[in-house]
């Protein structure tokens, strides 16, 4: 009697890694960080919303990476709003 229960949330982990990459690449100067880091954080935000709905539909499984992704996204957008990726 084996039950194939999917325990992870792939969209949540994708959002986590995209958000982390956006946060790490955001400080690159000369608008490279703004374009690359900003684009990755936008993709991560879309994936985080998808993963949040998938996690809530499965009684909260896989929500932790979404929370960390949201924190990384907020830090990236905060850094961009004070000039990260443009003049640093």
More confident residue, 38 or 84: 38
> In this predicted structure, what is the pLDDT of residue 88?
56
Q: Is the dihedral angle over the CA atoms 27, 43, 67, 62 positive or is it negative? A: negative
Q: What is the pLDDT of residues 1-59, one digit of tens each?
A: 445 566 688 999 999 999 999 999 998 888 888 899 999 999 999 999 999 998 888 88
């Amino acid at each position: 009697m084996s039950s194939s229960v999917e325990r992870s949330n792939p969209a949540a982990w994708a959002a986590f890694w995209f958000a982390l990459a956006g946060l790490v690449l955001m400080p690159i100067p000369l608008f490279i960080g703004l374009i690359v880091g900003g684009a990755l954080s936008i993709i991560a935000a879309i994936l985080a919303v998808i993963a949040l709905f998938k996690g809530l539909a499965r009684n909260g499984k896989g929500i932790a990476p979404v929370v960390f992704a949201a924190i990384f996204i907020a830090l990236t957008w905060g850094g961009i709003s004070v000039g990260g990726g443009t003049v640093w």
